[in-house]
Amino acid sequence: MRILLASSEVHPYSKTGGLADMVSGLSKTLARAGHRVGVVTPLYAGIEDRFSGLSRISEAFDLPVGPRRITAGILALEAEEGLTIYFVEQPGFYQRAAPYGVNGTDFVDNAERFVFFSKAVVELARRLPWRPELIHAHDWQTGLVPLLLLEEARQTGWPQPPRTCITVHNLAYQGLFPRHAFALTGLSWEHFHSEGVEFYGQLNCLKAGLLHAAAITTVSPRYAREIMTGEFGCGLDGLLLRRRHALTGILNGADYGEWNTTGNPFLEHSFSPADLSGKARQKSVLQRELGLPVDPSVPLFGSINRLVEQKGVEIQLAALDKMLGEGLQFVLLGSGDPGYQRAYQELADRHSDRMAVRFGFDQGLSHRIEAGCDFFLMPSRFEPCGLNQLYSLRYGTVPIVRATGGLDDSVIDAQEDSSGATGIKFRDYSSQALIKAVGKALALYAEPEWMAHYRCNGMAADFSWQKTAASYQGVYQSALNL
Ligand code: ADP
Residue nearest to atom 22 of ligand 1 (CA): 361
The CB of 387 under 6 Å from ligand 1? The reply is yes
The CB of 312 under 6 Å from ligand 1? The reply is no
pLDDT average, residue stretch 358-383 = 97
The CB of 100 under 6 Å from ligand 1? The reply is no
Please give the pLDDT value at position 175: 98
Residue nearest to atom 9 of ligand 1 (CA): 18
pLDDT average, residue stretch 63-68 = 97
pLDDT average, residue stretch 400-410 = 98
Ligand 1 probe mutation, 337, 361, 385, 391, most atoms within 8 A of CB: 361
Please give the pLDDT value at position 333: 98
| Number of CB atoms found within 10 A of residue 193's CB | 9
Please give the pLDDT value at position 408: 98
pLDDT average, residue stretch 258-267 = 97
Q: Are strands 163-168 and 215-218 parallel, antiparallel or unpaired?
A: parallel
Q: Which residues contact 470 (CB under 8 A, 6 or more apart)?
A: none
Ligand 1 center to residue 304 CA distance, Å? 7
Classify residue 52 by burial, with Cβ atoms within 10 Å: 0-12, 13-18, 19+.
exposed
3-state secondary structure 43-78: CCCCHHHHCCCCEECCCCEEEEECCEEEEEEEEEEE
In 169-251, which ranges are E strands? 176-177, 198-199, 202-204, 215-218, 247-249
Please give the pLDDT value at position 25: 97
Nearest atom of ligand 1 to the alpha carbon of 252? 7
Please give the pLDDT value at position 103: 80
> Tell me, what DSSP letter sits at residue 258?
T
Could you tell me which of 28, 8, 32 has the C-alpha nearest to residue 18? 8
Please give the pLDDT value at position 277: 97
Nearest atom of ligand 1 to the alpha carbon of 305? 20
Element holding 210 (H helix, E strand): helix 205-212
The CB of 362 under 6 Å from ligand 1? The reply is yes
The CB of 363 under 6 Å from ligand 1? The reply is yes
Q: Provide the whole-model pTM.
A: 0.95
Cα-Cα-Cα-Cα dihedral sign, residues 279, 281, 283, 286: negative
pLDDT bucket at 206, cuts 50 / 70 / 90: very high
Residue 330, classed as helix, strand or coil, is strand
Q: What residue type is assigned to position 39 of the chain?
A: V
Residue 394, classed as helix, strand or coil, is helix
Could you tell me which of 451, 392, 399, 453 has the C-alpha nearest to residue 426? 399
Residue 23, classed as helix, strand or coil, is helix
**Domains and their CATH numbers in the chain:** 2-253+466-480 (3.40.50.2000), 277-462 (3.40.50.2000)
Ligand 1 probe mutation, 9, 11, 21, 313, most atoms within 8 A of CB: 21
pLDDT bucket at 69, cuts 50 / 70 / 90: very high
CA angle in degrees (0–180, nearest 5) for 381-230-5: 75
pLDDT for residue 324 is more than 90: yes
pLDDT bucket at 68, cuts 50 / 70 / 90: very high
pLDDT for residue 58 is more than 90: no
pLDDT bucket at 226, cuts 50 / 70 / 90: very high
Nearest atom of ligand 1 to the alpha carbon of 361? 24
Q: How far is CA 332 from CA 18, 42, 275, in A?
A: 18, 30, 27
The CB of 361 under 6 Å from ligand 1? The reply is yes
pLDDT for residue 4 is more than 90: yes
Rounded Cα–Cα distance for residues 128 and 86 (Å)? 10
pLDDT for residue 336 is more than 90: no
Is there a cis peptide before residue 12, judged by omega within 30 degrees of 0? yes
